[in-house]
Structure 1
Amino acid sequence: MRLKFMMAIFIALFSMANMAFAEADDNALAMRNNKDYSNCNTCPPKKEECCPCPKECIKSPSKCSCCDYMTCCPMLPLPVKCGNLFMEGEYLYWKTYTVVPYAITRTVVPPFTSGLRTIVNEDVNTVKMDGSSGYRLTLGAYFSDCWFGLGTFRQYDTDGTNSVSVRGVDGFPLPLQQWISAVWATNPANSDTNNGGPPVSASARQRHREKVLDFDFLKEFACSRFTFSPFLGVRFAWVKSDLRVDYFQNFTPGTGTVSYNNHVDVNNHMNLGVGLHTGMLSNIDLGWGFGFYGTSGLAALVGQFQFEHREDVTDEFTGTDFPVTYTSTRSYKVTDFQTTWELGVGLNWGHHFCDCGYYLGLKVGYEANIWPNFFRSFHTLRTTSVQNNAERMSLWTRSILTHGLNVGARFDF
C-alpha cells in the first residue's frame, strides 16, 4: 500500500514538471516567432538579428557568454552586422636611424710620419635624422562570423643635417694638419696636388620618405580575456632615401686658383613595391573598456629600385685660372626583393553609445619597423687623372630603422 502511494506521488511530480517544461518551450518558441530577443539569455537563431550586447559585455567583453560571442566578437566594439564600418586616425611621431657616412675627418697624430706614410686618426661623420610627424588612416568593414577587412594608408617623412670643417693643410706644420676625405666625391679636385689639398669642409642632408598602402582581411579568435586576429593582405609601398653632400675647399688667396666645390646627390628610390602583407593583431581585455594591444607584421615586396649618383663640380684644370663647372652621373635601375618588419604595443580604451549603436575608442602605443638593407650603394673612385688606372669600386647596403609613438582615435558606426 505504501509503495503504491509513493509511486502515485512520483508520477504526479513527473507530470507537473513535464507540463512546466512544455510551457517554457512554447513560450520560447513564441518569442522566436515574434522576434522578441529582450531576454539575452536565450540564444537567438544563427541568422536572426541579435539583441544588444548585455551591460557586462560592454564593460568587459571577456565576460560574454558563448551566445554573446556570436553577436559581439570580443575585439570588435559593435555587434557584428554585415556592413558596419569603422574609421581610425593616428598621429605618428617617429625617428629614423641609418648609418650612411658622408665624410671622414683625418687628423695627423704622432709619430706623424712612418717612412713615406703619415699616421692619422679618422672620424666617420654621419647624419642623425630628426624626430618627425606622420599620420595613418584606416577604414574597416565588418563581415559575418567575425571576419572584417581593413584599408590602411600611412605617410611619414623625416630629414636631418650635419656638417664638419677642419683647418686644412696649407700653411700648417705637419702635426697640425687636418683634412676631409670626400667619400662620395668620385671626381676629386684637379688642383689638389698643387694648392690647398683635399676639401676642408663638408655639409650633408639626409632624407627618408615613405608611403604605404595596405589591404588586409582579418579573422578574430577569442580565449577568455585574450583575443587575436591573424591577417593576410597585399601591400603597396613607395620609399625614398636620399643623401645630399657639399664638399668645399677654399684655396689660399693670391695663388691664382679657384675654390673647389662638389655637390653630390645620392638617391635610393623604391618607385613601387608590391607584395604580401601578413601578421597578427592581439588584445588583452583589462576591463572597463581598457585593453593592452599588440601588433606584428611582415611584408615581402618586389619592386623597381632606382639608384642615382650625381655630382655638380666647380674646379680648375691645368693651365687655367678660371672656374670650370661640369656634371657627372652614374645610375641604374633593377627589380629586386625587399622585406619589412613591424612590431607595436600599447594601451587602448573605448566606450559604447546608444545601445551598442556607436563606439569611440582611443589608443596610445609604441611601434618599430625596419627596412633591411634598403640603402644601396654602387660607388667608384678614380684616385688619379689617368684613365683606366687606380679605380676602386665598392658595393654595400644599409638598413633603415624607424620607431616612435602613435596616438589615435577610432569611431565605429
Structure 2
Amino acid sequence: MLESKIARVELYAVADRNADELPWADDQEPLLYTNNIVRMITEDGLEGVGATISYTENDFDKCIVEAMRTIAPGIIGKNALMTEELNRWLMNRCSWGGLVAKSPFDIAAWDIKGKKAGMPLFQMLGGARNKMLSYSSTPMFDTVDEYFPFIDGCIEHGFKAIKLHCYCVYEKDLKLVKAVQERYKNSGIDFMLDTAMYYTQKEALKMAKLLEEYEWAWFEAPVSDYDYKSYQRLVRETGVQISSHGNCLLTLPEVAHALANDMWSDVRQDATVCGGITPLNKCFALAEAHGKPLEIQSWGYTITQAANLHVALAHHNCTFFEQAYPYENFEYGAKNVIRTNKDGFVHAPQGAGLGVEMDWDAVKEASILSYSFE
C-alpha cells in the first residue's frame, strides 16, 4: 500500500489589511476577510494546502483556526493518501468549528494525493474538461450608478456572466435590477442576483418572477435556506433557476432531502465549507443523479478557488465558476493565481494536486494567529 504519512501540520489565520472591506448587504458593517490555511507536510517530503475563508464585522476572525487547533494533533501520522478514511475520521471529530474547520484538512490531503500521483486533481477526479466559463461576483456599491462602470470593466475583461451582490433591501434591489436590465439587455451577458437570504417569501416571489421575465441565469439565496416551503414555492411557481445560499444545508443527507423535495433548481456547494473535496465530489454525482447542475460557490482566496475549480472541472454539470472580482482582494500570499481569460474561461493552475504555490514568508508575516504540530 502506498503511504504518505503526515509529519507536520501548520495553521495560519491570514489577514490582508490592504484588501477592500466589502459588505454584502445594506445593513452590514464593512466585512473583514480571514484566509484560514492548513499546511500539511508528509514524511516523504510532500506538501499539501487547504483553506477556508471567514468574514466578520469589526475585526478579523480567529475562531476557525482555534477550532482547527483542536483537530490538527490527531492528523499527525495519518496516511494522507487514504482520503476517504481521513474524511470519515474528520467528520467524527468533536469541534464547535463544524465542517468549515474540517474542510481544509481534507483539501490538503487531496493536494498531497495529487502530488503523489503526479496529476492535477481535476484529472485525478475524472477530468471532464480543462476549462469552464466563469462569472464575476461583484461587491456591493453605494449607488446604482456605481455598478455600471464596474460591470463595463467586467465585460471588457472577458467575463460572460456577472452576479450582483446587492443591497438585500427589496425596493432598492428592484431599482438596481431594472437599471441593469435596461442598460445590458442586449449585451449577451448572463446576470445573476444574490440576496443573501434577506427576503420574505412575498418579496422573493416578486423578484423571482421579474428575473424570469428578464431571463436572468439564476436567483441565489432569496430566503433563508431553512425556509423549505418558500423554496418549494419559488421552484414550483417561477421559471428562474433558484439557488440556495450554499452555507447551511451542506451534508449529503441534507442535499439529498432538498433535491428529493424539489427545494432547489440546482445545488450550491463549496469544498471549503461542506467538509472538503471528498464530500463535494460525491455531491456532484448526487446532483447529476437528480438531473441538476451543481453551481460551485468559490468566493475566496486562491486555495479556495483552486479546490472548487478542480472538482468542477472533473464534472460536466457545472455551468459557471465564481470569481471574486476585483481579484487582488483575494490573492494575498499566492505565487500563482486563478483569473478569467479574455474569452471568459478559467483554467486550473498547472502542476500536480491543486497546483497552488504559496509564499510562506508572506503568509507568516500577515498571520494574526498560527500554530504548528509535529
- TM-score category (smaller protein): under 0.3
**Length-normalised TM-score, structure 1:** 0.22
Higher fraction of strand: 1
Higher fraction of helix: 2
By relative contact order (CA 8 Å, sep 6+), the higher-ranking structure is: 2
